[in-house]
Amino acid sequence: MNVAIGAFMLTLLLIPAISLRLALYRHRYLKEMLHTLSVMDTMWLFIIVPVMTHTILLTGFHLLDYEVNMI
């Protein structure tokens, strides 16, 4: 069960990275820029940046006392 939860969490972390990469591939200039990135640059851009964005948004929600109702 723990393996399934871990896989689910990894999938949730990778969804923003995949969608960001697909969105950037639509622009010709950004697509050319992506081909020049190394593997480590790609990891930073498509995994760490969306995770940090979510962290900042969640902190902002907490500071503004915005409550997210879970079903």
71 falls within a domain: no
26 falls within a domain: yes
27 falls within a domain: yes
How confident is the model over 9-68, as pLDDT tens digits? 777 777 776 777 777 777 777 777 777 777 677 777 777 877 888 888 888 888 998 877
Give the separation between CA 43 and CA 10, rounded to whole angstroms.
14
12 falls within a domain: yes
Query: What's the pLDDT score for residue 61?
Result: 85
Q: How far apart are the first and last CA of the chain?
A: 22
Query: What's the pLDDT score for residue 1?
Result: 65
Name the nearest CA neighbour of 48 among 1, 25, 14. 14
Q: Does the reported pTM lie above 0.75?
A: no
46 falls within a domain: yes
| Parent domain of 33 | 2-63
7 falls within a domain: yes
6 falls within a domain: yes
Query: What's the pLDDT score for residue 13?
Result: 73
24 falls within a domain: yes
Task: Tell me how many domains the chain contains.
Answer: 1
The alpha carbon of residue 63 and the mean position of all alpha carbons in its chain are separated, in whole angstroms, by 22
Query: What's the pLDDT score for residue 8?
Result: 83
